[in-house]
């Protein structure tokens, strides 16, 4: 077996081990889409948008919608492109670099590569454990690798071509607090004062929100009540 065949075999084994959930979704799809056929990409973009909305796989930042890595993986899966974490290394204490390759399942060729960092030096990561820093570096690299090759498809679907996980410093509460923005939107759309009062009570007694988050949500409820 020559060197090229050995490399392909290694990639195939690695791909099979990566992201089994994505592979399962592929088995339930009748076919994969061809990226070089525009009409198929339009259909894929519609399917992708519906999936993202249904599963809430996006985050709103400064009025723009950014898709989380699970949405990018779904799009890649429909195209027969799976990610392979090729390398992860600690380049300094509590700072990790990840390299991810996107591999075409049919040809086993690398169609895109993404590199990403994650560090405890980041404002929102100072209290994170090392495994979480390592995991986020890989997550960002997956999104980056997909962005390099199918970012334009995400734009067709109506979303920004930058993965949500890359928006490190521009989102006030970061990705982990994306639920807050969705709750705020629900409050703004609610016109029933009784329901708002019930929500206020539940949020006050809730253990899933921080003190700061509770204060923000209660303020939104009080402002909405005044508008009604």
Whether residues 46 and 86 share a domain: the answer is: yes
Report, as an integer, the average pLDDT of 217-225. Answer: 89
Whether residues 22 and 95 share a domain: the answer is: yes
Which of 115, 148, 166 is at the close of a domain?
166
Return the closest-CA partner of residue 47 out of 79, 8, 91, 15.
Answer: 79
- Determine contact, residues 146/118, Cβ cutoff 8 Å: no
Alpha helix stretches (DSSP H) within 59-209: 69-78, 130-156, 178-189, 193-205
DSSP run (H or E) holding 61 = strand 58-61
> What is the 8-class DSSP label of residue 165?
G
Q: Tell how strand 110-119 and strand 58-61 pair up.
A: unpaired
The residue among 1 and 131 whose pLDDT is bigger is 131
pLDDT of residue 90: 93
- pTM summary value: 0.62
Tell me the torsion sign for CA atoms 169, 175, 176, 182: positive
pLDDT of residue 189: 86
pLDDT of residue 18: 47
| Domain of residue 208, residue span | 175-227
pLDDT of residue 20: 43
pLDDT digits over 120-152, tens only? 888 778 778 888 899 999 999 999 999 999 999
pLDDT digits over 15-31, tens only? 444 444 444 343 344 46
> What is the 8-class DSSP label of residue 126?
T
Number of domains in the chain: 2
The encoded tokens of residue 201 equal 């009570």
pLDDT digits over 181-199, tens only? 778 888 888 889 999 999 9
Whether residues 71 and 103 share a domain: the answer is: yes
């Amino acid at each position: 077996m020559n060197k090229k065949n050995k490399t392909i075999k290694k990639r195939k084994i690695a791909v099979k081990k990566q992201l089994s959930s994505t592979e399962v979704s592929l088995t339930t799809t009748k076919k994969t889409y061809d990226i070089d056929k525009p009409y198929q990409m339009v259909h894929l973009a519609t399917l992708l948008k519906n999936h993202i909305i249904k599963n809430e796989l996006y985050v709103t930042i400064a009025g723009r919608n950014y898709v989380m890595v699970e949405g990018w993986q779904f799009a890649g899966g429909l195209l027969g492109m799976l990610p392979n974490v090729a390398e992860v290394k600690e380049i300094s204490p509590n700072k990790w670099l990840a390299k991810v390759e996107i591999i075409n399942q049919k040809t086993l060729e690398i169609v895109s590569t993404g590199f990403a960092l994650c560090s405890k030096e980041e404002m929102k990561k100072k209290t994170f454990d090392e495994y979480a820093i390592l995991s986020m570096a890989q997550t960002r690299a997956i999104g980056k690798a997909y962005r390099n090759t199918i970012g334009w498809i995400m734009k067709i679907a109506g979303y920004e071509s930058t993965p949500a996980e890359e928006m490190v410093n521009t989102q006030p509460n970061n990705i982990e607090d994306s639920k807050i923005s969705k709750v705020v939107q629900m409050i703004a759309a609610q016109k029933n004062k009784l329901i708002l009062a019930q929500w206020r009570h539940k949020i006050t007694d809730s253990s899933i929100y921080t003190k700061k988050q509770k204060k923000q949500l209660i303020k939104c409820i009080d402002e909405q009540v005044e508008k009604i």
